[in-house]
Structure 1
C-alpha cells in the first residue's frame, strides 16, 4: 500500500466504498489522516465498517465542519448530469473535492526516491478505446524486458493497492475520463491518448466536456512525453497544442492506417507494419501481422501507442518486438485461446455492441462467427460491410432466430446455446479459418456477465480439442 501524504492529523471524507473508496480510506489512515466514509448502499457501509473504517453520514447537516477534503469515487457524478448531494454539501462548505488519482499523484514519490539509482516513473493511459489493452501491453513488455512494473487504475487494482515503488520501476495507470476529470493533481512522466469516440456524454455534458476531461491529463499534467493518437480531430488538436513546432520531440504522434510525415517523432501502422520515424527518417520497423495477441487494425493502434510510451522510457525496438510476440491479449478481448489443424479460436466476448464486433470481424479474413445474445438498440446494419470475412455465422441466445434474420447476405445457422455453436463451428472450420466469438450483443439473456460467456466458449473449445 502507498500511504496518502499531506493530510497527517486531519480528517478526510470518502464518498463511495467500492474498490477505490476502500483502498483510499485505508491509505489515508496509513498516512496519518482520519478517514470518515459514507456510501449510499447499506451493504457497502457494512463491509467498510467490518474493515475498521469509520462511518459518517455525509448527508447530514454539519458533516463537513472538520473535513479537509472530500474524496469521491469515480462512478459518483460531481457535475453532470447532476452532482451528488454530498458533493453539493462539500462545495457549499468550501471543502475541496478530489479523487484517488489526485491523491496518488501527490503521494507517489518524494524524498525517499533520492536513494534510487533510477527514479521510478509513471505512464498514464487514457482515451476512448484500447486503454486496457494498451496499458496491459506496456506492463507486459516492461516485465518481459526485466523492468520492474506495476499495473493499476481503471484496470486490475486501485492505485493505493499498489506497493511502494522500487528502483527503476514504472507504474502503468489506465485512467478513465471519470478519473482524469476530477483529480486535482495529474503529473505523469508519460501520458498516452489512444483515440476519441463518443462515450459517457451524459456524465460530461457532451462531447466537448468528454474531451476536456481527457485533455486535463496533458494540459494540466505537463508530462515529459505525450503519446497522442492523431486519427481523430481532437487528437490532432491536442498534439498541436502541446508541440512548440513541427520538430517537437516531446510529442509522439500515433496513427493506425496513415503515414505520418514531418520532422518530429511519430509511430504509425500501415498494412500490418509498425514504423517509427524521427527527424524525417525511419529508425525502426516491426511486422505485426503474425502477432496472435494483437490482431486487427484496432490492436495495431494499441501497439503503436504502447510502443511510443515504451520508447519514451528508454526501451529499444527489439525488446518491444519480443514483448509484442509473447503478449497473450486481454481476456475476452480478441483473446487467442487455442489452435488446431490450422484453425484458430478467438474469444472476443467483450464485444457487447456492434462497433466492437465490427473491429473483430475486420481483424480476420475468414471467420466462423459465433454471435448473438441480448441485442442492443440500433440493429446490425453496421456489420454488413464485414460479412465478406464471414464464412458462416452460428447464432446463440434466446432471440437467436430474430438475430439471424438481420444477418442479410451472411449464411447463418441458429444454434441457440454455446455448446451447439462451438460444436458446429469446429466441425465445419477449415485450415486458415478462425472460430470467433464476437457476439455483438450483451450476455444477460443466458449469462450473468460477458466474462462468464467467454469462459464458457473457452471451456467448450478446450473440451473438444
Structure 2
C-alpha cells in the first residue's frame, strides 16, 4: 500500500466504494486521515462500515463543513453530462475534489532519498491499446530483470501496490476519467497511444476527451513523452511538447508510416519495428514472429512499449527477447485455440468501431462474430476491414439493425453467442479465423466485455472437446 500523505488528522471524504474508492479510503487512513465514505449502494456502505469507516451522507446539510478534500471514483461524473450531486455540493462548498491517481502522485516520493536509483513511473493513456501497451511494458521490464508493478486501470489499484524499491518501475494504465480529475500528474515517462471517439458524453465531445488525455503531458511534464502520431491529435501533441525537430524528449511512434529526421522515432512497417535516432537507424525487430501481437494495431502497441523501455534504458536486444515471450492479454486479439486449420481469436475488448476494424485488418478469411449494444456514430468506420470478412454472425438484441450496417457482407442473425459459435464452427474451412470482435458494448447480454469473451472461449473449447 502507498499511504496517502498531506492529510494527517484531516477529514477526507471518499465518494464511490468500488475498487479504487475503497483502496483510496484505506490508503488515506494509513496516512493518518480521518476518512468518511459514501456510496449510493447500501451493500457497499455496509462493507465499508465493517472495515471501520464512518459512513456519512454527503448531501445532508453541513456535510462538507469539516471536509478537507473529496476523493471521487473514476466512474462518477464530475463535470459532464452533469456533476454528481455530491461533487456539485463539494464545488459549492469550495472543497477540493481529487481521485486516487492524484493522491498517488502527491504521495509517491516518500523516503526516496535513501535510494541509489529513484523509482520511475510510466503512465499510458489513449483510446485503444492502453492495456496491451501497459502490460507489454511491464512484461518487457520484468523479462529484463527490472522490478516492475502494473496498476491503474489494469492490474492492481494504484494505491494498493507494494512500496517501491531501488530502481523499480510502476506502469500505470490511465483512462480519460482518471487523467481529467487528478490534481497531481507527474510521470517520468508518459505514453499517448492514439485517439478515436469514445466516452464523448463524459467529456462533452471529442475536444474535451482529447483535453483530458492531454493533461497527462501538459500538466504532468514527463521527462520523456512517447506519442502516437497516426492521428492529427497525436501530431499536434508531439508538436506542442517538442522544442524542435531534434528534441528527443519526444519519441514519435507510428504504425504504417516511416518516420525519419534528427529526432527520436519508432515505427512499424510491413511487420518490422524500426528505431530511428539522430538521423540514423538504431535497431530493427521482426514483429511477424511475435504471435502475441498480431496486426498493425498491435504493432503500434509494440512500438510504444519499445520506446518506453528504451527511455528507461533497456537495450534493443533485451526488448526483442521480451517481445517474443509476450502472450497477449485476455480478450484482446487472444488466440484461444487452433484446430483443423482454423484459428479462434477472442477480441471481446473491441467494443467500438475503431478497435474492431483494427482486429478485422489483422486477419484474413474471417468468420466474424459481432454485435451487441451499438455506440454512437454508426458502423461506417468498419468499411476498411470488411473485405477480410467471409461471413458475419451477428449477436445481441440489435442484431438485425447491426447486420443492416454491414453492406456487402453476408450476415446471419444469430442473436446468441451459442448459436453464433456453433454456426461459425460449422461453416469454417481450413485457413479461416473465427474472430469475436463485436464493435459494440456488451451490456445488452453480459455484465462486461470480459464475461462476453469468457462465454465465447468456453463455447469454442467445449465444442472442440
The two structures share one fold, judged by TM-score above 0.5: yes
1:257-315, Cα deviation, whole Å (9 max, x unpaired): 11112200011111221111000111011111232221111111111111111111111
Please give the TM-score of this superposition, normalised by the length of structure 2. 0.93
Change (3 A) 1:193 1:12: same
Distance 1:54 1:435, change over 3 A: same
Q: 1:5-44 alignment to 2 at 5 Å? A: 5-44=5-44
CA distance in 1, matches of 2:204, 2:296: 30
Partner residue, 1:299: 298
Q: Secondary structure at the match of 1:284?
A: strand
Listed as ranges, the matches of 1:333-412 within 5 Å are 333-375=332-374, 380-397=379-396, 403-404=402-403, 407-412=406-411
1:308 and 1:219 map into 2 onto residues whose CA distance is: 20
Partner of 1:87: 87
Match of 1:259 in 2: 258
Which stretch shows the higher mean deviation, 283-292 or 77-86? 77-86
Give SS of 1:298's match: helix
CA drift of 1:121 comes to 0.7
Whole-Å Cα distance in 1 between the matches of residues 383 and 102 of structure 2? 44
Structure 1 Cα separation of the partners of residues 344 and 158 of structure 2: 34
* Structure 1 residues 250 and 401: CA distance shift in structure 2, 3 A: closer
With over 3 angstroms needed to count, the CA separation of the structure-2 counterparts of 1:403 and 1:5, relative to structure 1, is closer
- Pair 1:428–1:311, CA change in 2 (3 A): same
**Cα offset, 1:351, TM superposition:** 2.4
Query: Which residue pairs with 1:236 in the alignment?
Result: 235
Match for residue 462 of structure 1? 461
Structure 1 residue 244 displacement after superposition: 1.6
Structure 2 residue runs of 5 or longer lacking an equivalent are none
Residues 196 and 354, structure 2, Cα contact 8 Å, conserved in 1: no
CA contact (8 A) 2:255 2:300 kept: yes
Q: Secondary structure at the match of 1:64?
A: coil
Q: Does 1:64 align with 2:72?
A: no
CA RMSD of the aligned region, Å?
Answer: 2.2
Hey, what's the Cα distance between the residues in 1 that align with 2:207 and 2:442?
A: 32
CA distance in 2: counterparts of 1:13 and 1:377, whole angstroms = 35
Q: Per the alignment, do residues 361 and 122 of structure 1 end up closer, same or farther by CA in structure 2, a change over 3 Å counting?
A: same
1:103 partnered with 2:103: yes
Secondary structure of the equivalent of 1:160?
coil
Task: State the alpha-carbon separation in 2 of the partners of residues 32 and 15 from structure 1.
Answer: 18
2:146 is the alignment partner of 1:139:
no
Q: How does 1:310-349 map to 2 (within 5 A)?
A: 310-349=309-348
Aligned CA distance change for structure 1 residues 207 and 436 (closer, same or farther; 3 Å): closer
Deviations along 1:425-452, one digit per CA (max 9) or x if unpaired, are: 3454344332212233444454443322
Distance 1:162 1:296, change over 3 A: same
Shift of 1:226: 0.6
Given that residues 238 and 250 in structure 2 are in contact (C-alpha distance below 8 angstroms), is that contact kept between their aligned partners in structure 1?
yes
Q: In 2, distance between residues paired with 1:38 and 1:18?
A: 11
Deviation at 1:247, TM superposition (A): 0.6
Change (3 A) 1:415 1:91: closer
User: Could you tell me which residue of structure 1 aligns to residue 50 of structure 2?
Assistant: 50
Aligned length: 464
- 8 Å contact kept, 1:100–1:159: yes
Q: 8 Å contact 1:372–1:441 — kept in the other structure?
A: yes
Matched position secondary structure for 2:257: coil
Task: After TM superposition, give the deviation of residue 453 of structure 1 in Å.
Answer: 2.4
> Which stretch of the first structure deviates more once superposed, 268-277 or 376-385?
376-385
Q: 1:177 to 1:420 in 2, by over 3 A?
A: closer
Counterpart of 2:224 in structure 1 is: 225
Q: Which moved more, 1:207-216 or 1:143-152?
A: 207-216
Residue 163 of structure 2 is aligned to residue 157 of structure 1: no
Between the aligned partners of 2:434 and 2:73, the Cα distance in structure 1 is 40
Deviates more, 1:347-356 or 1:244-253: 347-356
Residue of structure 2 equivalent to 1:216: 215
Aligned partner of residue 196 in structure 2, secondary structure: coil
Instruction: Report the TM-score when normalising by structure 1.
Output: 0.93
Shift of 1:186: 0.8
Secondary structure, aligned partner of 2:88:
helix
| Unaligned residue ranges in structure 1 (runs of 5+) | none
**Closer, same or farther in 2 for the Cα pair 1:395/1:128, shift >3 Å?**
closer
**Which runs of structure 2 are paired with 1:411-422 in the superposition (5 Å)?**
411-415=410-414, 417-422=416-421
User: In the alignment, is the contact (CA less than 8 A) between 2:150 and 2:171 conserved in 1?
Assistant: yes
